[in-house]
């Protein structure tokens, strides 16, 4: 993908992001709003509008500290919108004096203007069906109803595939959609060029550049309906993936938009209601839409008149095309086509600026009905139209009638009369299409990475993230995914590097901090973990992430009772947090197996795909000598996370315990192939090699472990035992002396080994590690 600095269509892409974010905020889909606002801010960090929108989304999501950090910039760089947002964040945090100071400072600004003079955007009184189904899925997910959540999320994505949290919800419950079905590949956009002959070309009309951002004045409850056909989408199958904007300030108020919506199975083509939206003034600069374009001059300039005339869309001459098919979800009342299922080309419209249109002889009755029902557009003088305008309209018709039946076919623009107006319109439509393609490819890459991470395919996830432009690779969302991917691969050093970068970029972030605290626990970073726990508690003492970090700190300090108290507190803060129950089980496993089993089962009730809980149950049953139950639960964890070497090693342990050493060795071998640097799985393979009397291979593994972990007494002891078995008594005695120096408590174990004969030393009863 191209870097944002080289994008010629940046203004169009900015408008697209603004439309998406405001639509999601109005629909209470804050997670999706934050996702797209972060993308917008990453591409244009110098834009105050992008900064305000990102801060507003974070504030709505319940991250006031992070939102305040965005607008808490040097005073010479702050604008009125920054100050107003700072006041809102301080109010949320209870810092009322600071909020008052920010408000008074904003009113003293020389650029201050009241909301009466600020642009307004229509207020959506009710979300559309896609947003409601997505929210229903969120509630089902939190209510432990994964089947209902899957149905709701899939229906939401069928209506609008850009609802990011619906996609993430499906990944979370394991009902993972196929990327090629949800986001099929699209051909690159093609710019319109002068026609080779006088015949009209099948091109979708988009001279206005309005694209997906024309406000839908007749469907106040539908935030995501495309209000204009895709600009210059040549030969592209599949419906629109857009979310229509509710920002009307990007067009002059004098311009009226008549829209054509694709009819359903039983619908006829109708225009929207004339009932206007309720408008609310913006309280701050952060809620202002794009700056209104300057009105075109009213002087009778031919090219300017033609350019502005093409902004008007009527339904006087609808084309006879089959309706766009509905999605496979069975939702028939929505006017939004499904990206995954629809392959029909969008219905086109005629561009017309006159007050009336002469009906053709083929469509007279239908046109008469539509004309009597549609709202009358603004009156325009017929003198502003020209024959060249009609030629341009005919050339932009996507599916024109035959030459014999088309009253406009003989006046189509030819290479000789292709003017700068046509070229400007074609370039504008081409840039709209480029912006749409860029957004589509961007979301596709993010979806592919998220899907891979949900399947615990960390290499593929990292590969997809590498395909993103650099400005997106350094955003909090991507850094968190990189940290989690390395963590799941047991690459703790790389994971720590990613999480540190994330903390520097967003120091008040709470999301994913439970993973970071467990990572520090694995790395035995006592000081860093203590600092993290204190910071998280100061940010939000009622967050589960903070109490998990505190619990991990106590666990690292061997304070199990305090750790268990903190983990249970985390579960009280968020009953749907499966990780809190799992950590409670791990802290109880050495003292009370039945209690630990109850904790792990509670975790699985909160999240059936929590592989760590399945692993904990397997460990409990293995300690209870219930080998078959242990193997079952270990295998369940491997089904969820097939690339985890430790889990494969646990399955191998259970298989070995029930007597199948050959099958166990295959599992250990596969685990070492997955994680060659993992000492635990290599050590277990060495032990099973000793039991299988494959001493040379065992020595190779143990020597490798000794070079990486020279202070590990168990490795030295096993190596001494192998040398004793192959007859090298001198080497064995040297290693036993080293093992005694490293761990004086192993004297009894060493004495027992020396008292046994060589054949008995290879028996499982002498497997002391």
C-alpha distances in Å from residue 590, one per residue of 14, 561, 637, 681, 747? 56, 12, 21, 22, 25
CATH number at 59 reads 1.25.40.10
Per-residue pLDDT of 737-746, as tens digits, reads: 888 888 877 7
- Helix, strand or coil for residue 350? strand
Number of structural domains the chain divides into: 3
Write the burial class of residue 344 (CB in 10 Å: 0-12 exposed, 13-18 middle, 19+ buried). Answer: middle
- 224-242 mean pLDDT: 37
pLDDT at 585 over 80: yes
Helix (H, G, I), strand (E, B) or coil at 314: strand
Length of the chain: 769
For CA atoms 452, 453, 456, 461, give the dihedral sign: positive
What does the angle CA 646 – CA 649 – CA 650 come to, to the nearest 5 degrees? Answer: 90
**Integer angstrom CA distances of residue 511 from 62, 64, 140:** 11, 13, 21
Residues 320 and 404 in one domain: yes
pLDDT value, residue 743? 80
Contact 651, 669 (CB under 8 A): no
Sorting pLDDT into bands at 50, 70 and 90, what band is 123? low
Distance CA 31, CA 89 (A): 18
Percent of the chain with pLDDT over 70: 67
Specify the higher pLDDT residue, 715 or 325. 715
Per the prediction, the chain carries an average pLDDT of 74
Segment 69-75 mean pLDDT:
90
- What pLDDT does residue 114 have? 55
Helix (H) or strand (E) holding 280: strand 279-281
Q: Which of 242, 239, 274 is nearest to 256 (CA)?
A: 274
pLDDT tens for residues 281-330?
333 334 444 444 444 343 444 443 343 333 333 333 333 333 434 333 33
Helices 611-623 and 593-606, axial angle in degrees (round to 10): 160
Check whether residue 178 and residue 195 sit in a common domain.
no
- pLDDT at residue number 108: 83
Residues 553, 554, 560: CA angle, nearest 5 degrees: 145
The number of helix segments (H) and strand segments (E) in the chain equals: 34, 4
Considering the domain architecture, whether residues 188 and 160 belong to the same structural domain is answered as: no
* DSSP state, residue 331: -
Q: With both helix axes pointing from N to C terminus, report the angle between 544-556 and 560-573 in degrees, rounded to the nearest 10.
A: 170
**Is the residue at 268 inside a domain?**
yes
In angstroms, the Cα distances linking 728 to 150, 622, 737, 767 are: 62, 35, 15, 19
C-beta atoms surrounding 210 within 10 Å: 24
- The mean pLDDT value for 264-293 works out to 40
Quick check: 623 pLDDT over 90?
yes
Shared domain for 91 and 190, answered yes or no, is no
pLDDT per position as a tens digit, 332-371: 333 333 333 333 333 333 333 333 343 444 444 444 443 3
C-alpha of 173 from chain center = 15
Round to whole Å and give the CA distance between 708 and 686: 15
Higher pLDDT, 394 or 30: 30
Sequence-distant (≥ 6) Cβ neighbours of residue 84 within 8 angstroms: 102, 103, 106, 283, 284, 285, 286
pLDDT value for 512: 93
Which pLDDT belongs to residue 210?
36
Beta-strand pair 350-351/313-314: antiparallel
Q: Which two tokens stand for residue 611?
A: 């592989």
Six token digits for residue 518: 């467990």
pLDDT at 316: 38
Phi, psi of 200 (to 5 degrees): -70, 145
In degrees rounded to 5, what are phi and psi of residue 727?
95, 5
Q: Is residue 505 in some structural domain?
A: no
Handedness of CA 409, 410, 414, 420 (dihedral sign): negative
Read off φ and ψ for residue 541, nearest 5 degrees. Answer: -70, -5
Largest CA distance in the chain: 113
* Spatial distance between the Cα atoms of 605 and 144, rounded to a whole number of angstroms: 7
431 to 191, 207, 296, 718, 720: CA distances (angstroms) = 9, 11, 21, 68, 71
In Å, how far are 283, 322, 478 from 446, measured between CA atoms?
33, 34, 9
Q: What range defines the domain where residue 87 resides?
A: 8-183
In this prediction the pTM is 0.68
Query: Rounded to whole angstroms, how far apart are CA atoms 421 and 388?
Result: 10
Examine the fold and report which residue of 430, 450, 470 is the final residue of a domain before the chain moves on: 450
Gap between the Cα atoms of 475 and 75, Å rounded: 25
Tell me the percentage of the chain whose pLDDT exceeds 90. Answer: 42
Q: 């008995």: which residue's tokens?
A: 760
Q: Count of CB atoms within 10 A of residue 150's CB?
A: 19
Same domain, 109 and 214: no
State the pLDDT at residue 195: 67
User: How many other C-beta atoms can be found within 10 angstroms of the C-beta atom of residue 442?
Assistant: 19
Q: Is residue 247 part of a domain?
A: yes
Verify that 240 and 372 share a domain, yes or no.
Answer: yes
Given this model, what pLDDT does residue 121 score?
A: 65
| 390 lies in the same domain as 440 | yes
Q: CA 326, CA 338: separation in Å to the nearest integer? A: 7
Q: What's the rounded Cα separation, in Å, for the pair 226 and 259?
A: 10
* Domain final residue, candidates 141, 167, 183: 183
Return the closest-CA partner of residue 341 out of 99, 211, 455, 177. Answer: 177
- Tell me the pairing of strands 350-351 and 279-281: unpaired
**Residues 56 and 282: beta-carbon distance below 8 Å:** no
When pLDDT is averaged across residues 194-220 and rounded to a whole number, the result is 44
**For residues 181 and 302, what is the distance between their CA atoms, to the nearest angstrom?**
46
pLDDT of residue 751: 75
Average of per-residue pLDDT across 145-154: 92
- Are residues 39 and 70 located together in one domain of the fold? yes
- Per-residue pLDDT at 691: 87
CA distances for 663 relative to 23, 93, 443, 658, 687, angstroms: 55, 58, 43, 11, 14
Is 626 within a domain? no
Which residues, listed in sequence order, are joined to residue 313 by a DSSP beta bridge? Answer: 351
The per-residue pLDDT for range 394-453, each reduced to its tens digit, is 443 333 333 333 344 344 455 557 788 878 888 888 888 888 888 888 999 999 999 999
Contact call for residues 212 and 244 (beta carbons, < 8 A): yes
Residue 479 maps to a domain: no
Asked if 381 contacts 402 with a C-beta cutoff of 8 angstroms, the reply is: no
CA–CA dist 538, 534 (Å, integer):
6
The residue among 408, 435, 450 that closes a domain is 450
299/126: higher pLDDT: 126
Residue 572 lies in a domain: no
Q: What is the pLDDT of residue 464?
A: 93
pLDDT beyond 80 at 211: no
11-25, 172-186, 748-762: least confident range: 748-762
Over range 481-501, report the average pLDDT. Answer: 94
Domain co-membership, 206 together with 163: no
pLDDT band for 759, please (50, 70, 90 cuts).
low
Place of tokens 């809620």: 287
| 87: in domain | yes
pLDDT of residue 768: 43
Q: Concatenate the DSSP letters of all residues of 523-570 into one string.
A: TT-HHHHHHHHHHHHHH-TT-HHHHHHHHHHHHHTT-HHHHHHHHHHH
**242 φ, ψ to 5°?**
-95, 165
Asked if residue 204 and residue 301 are part of one domain, the reply reads: yes
Residue 323 burial (CB < 10 Å; 0-12/13-18/19+)?
A: middle
Question: Which of 361, 445, 459 minimizes the C-alpha distance to 407?
Answer: 361
The per-residue pLDDT for 519 is 96
368 vs 608, more confident? 608
CB 618 within 8 Å of CB 650: yes
Question: Looking up tokens 């799992």, which residue turns up?
Answer: 582
With helix as H, strand as E and coil as C, how does 322-362 read? CCCCCCCCCCCCCCCCCCCCCCCCCCCCEECCCCCCCCCCC
Indicate whether 423 belongs to any domain.
yes
Q: Do 207 and 152 belong together in one domain?
A: no
Query: 627-640 and 611-623 helices cross at what angle (nearest 10)?
Result: 170
* Residue 178 and residue 193 in one domain: no
């Amino acid at each position: 993908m191209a870097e944002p600095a080289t994008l010629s269509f940046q203004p169009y892409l900015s408008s697209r992001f603004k439309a998406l974010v405001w639509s999601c905020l109005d629909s209470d889909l804050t997670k999706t709003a934050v996702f797209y606002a972060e993308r917008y801010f990453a591409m244009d960090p110098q834009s105050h509008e992008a900064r305000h929108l990102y801060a507003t989304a974070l504030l709505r999501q319940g991250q006031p500290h992070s939102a305040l950090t965005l607008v808490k910039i040097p005073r010479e760089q702050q604008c009125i919108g920054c100050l107003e947002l700072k006041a809102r964040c301080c109010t949320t945090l209870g810092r009322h004096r600071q909020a008052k100071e920010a408000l008074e400072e904003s009113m003293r600004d020389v650029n201050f203007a009241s909301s009466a003079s600020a642009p307004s955007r229509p207020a959506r009184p009710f979300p559309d069906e896609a947003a409601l189904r997505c929210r229903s899925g969120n509630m089902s997910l939190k209510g432990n109803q994964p089947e209902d959540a899957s149905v709701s999320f899939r229906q939401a994505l069928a209506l609008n595939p850009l609802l990011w949290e619906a996609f993430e919800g499906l990944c979370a419950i394991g009902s993972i959609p196929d990327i090629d079905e949800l986001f099929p590949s699209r051909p690159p956009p093609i710019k319109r060029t002068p026609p080779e002959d006088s015949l009209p070309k099948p091109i979708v009309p988009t001279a206005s550049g309005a694209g997906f951002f024309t406000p839908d004045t007749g469907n106040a409850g539908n935030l995501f309906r495309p209000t204009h056909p895709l600009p210059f989408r040549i030969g592209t199958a599949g419906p629109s993936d857009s979310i229509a904007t509710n920002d009307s300030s990007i067009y002059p108020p004098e311009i009226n938009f008549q829209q054509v919506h694709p009819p359903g199975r039983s619908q006829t083509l109708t225009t929207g209601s004339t009932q206007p939206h309720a408008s609310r003034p913006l309280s701050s600069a952060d809620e202002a839409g794009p700056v209104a374009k300057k009105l075109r001059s009213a002087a009778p300039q031919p090219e300017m008149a033609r350019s502005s005339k093409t902004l008007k869309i009527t339904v006087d001459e609808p084309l006879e095309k089959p309706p766009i098919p509905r999605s496979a979800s069975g939702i028939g009342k929505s006017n939004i086509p499904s990206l995954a299922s629809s392959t029909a080309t969008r219905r086109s419209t005629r561009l017309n600026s006159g007050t009336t249109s002469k009906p053709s002889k083929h469509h007279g009755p239908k046109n008469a009905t539509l004309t009597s029902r549609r709202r009358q557009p603004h009156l325009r003088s017929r003198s502003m139209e020209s024959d060249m305008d009609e030629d341009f309209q005919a050339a932009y018709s996507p599916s024109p009638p035959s030459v014999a039946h088309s009253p406009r076919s003989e006046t189509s623009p030819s290479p000789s009369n292709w003017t700068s107006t046509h070229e400007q319109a074609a370039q504008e439509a081409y840039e709209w299409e480029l912006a749409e393609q860029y957004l589509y490819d961007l979301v596709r890459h993010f979806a592919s990475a998220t899907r891979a991470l949900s399947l615990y395919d960390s290499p593929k996830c990292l590969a997809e993230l590498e395909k993103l432009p650099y400005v997106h690779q350094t955003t909090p969302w991507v850094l968190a995914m990189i940290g989690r991917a390395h963590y799941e691969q047991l690459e703790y050093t790389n994971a720590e590097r990613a999480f540190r970068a994330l903390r520097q970029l967003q120091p008040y972030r709470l999301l994913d901090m439970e993973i970071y605290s467990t990572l520090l626990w694995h790395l035995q970073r006592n000081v860093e973990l203590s600092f993290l726990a204190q910071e998280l508690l100061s940010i939000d003492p009622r967050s589960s992430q903070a109490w998990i970090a505190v619990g991990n700190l106590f666990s690292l300090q061997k304070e199990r009772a305090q750790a268990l108290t903190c983990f249970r507190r985390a579960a009280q803060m968020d009953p749907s947090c499966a990780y809190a129950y799992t950590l409670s089980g791990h802290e109880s496993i050495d003292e009370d197996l039945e209690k630990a089993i109850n904790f792990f089962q509670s975790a699985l009730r909160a999240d059936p795909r929590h592989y760590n809980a399945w692993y904990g149950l397997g460990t409990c049953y293995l300690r209870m000598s219930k080998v078959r139950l242990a193997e079952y639960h270990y295998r369940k964890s491997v089904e969820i996370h097939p690339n985890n070497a430790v889990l494969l090693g646990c399955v191998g342990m259970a298989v070995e315990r029930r007597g199948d050493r050959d099958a166990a060795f295959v599992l250990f071998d596969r685990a070492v192939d997955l994680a060659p640097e993992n000492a635990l799985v290599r050590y277990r393979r060495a032990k099973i090699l000793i039991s299988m009397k494959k001493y040379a291979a065992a020595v190779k593994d143990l020597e490798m472990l000794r070079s990486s972990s020279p202070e590990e007494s168990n490795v030295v002891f096993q190596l001494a035992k192998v040398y004793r078995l192959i007859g090298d008594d001198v080497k064995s005695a040297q290693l036993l002396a080293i093992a005694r120096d490293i761990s004086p408590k192993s004297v009894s174990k060493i004495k027992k080994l020396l008292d046994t004969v060589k054949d008995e030393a290879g028996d499982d009863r002498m497997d002391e590690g």
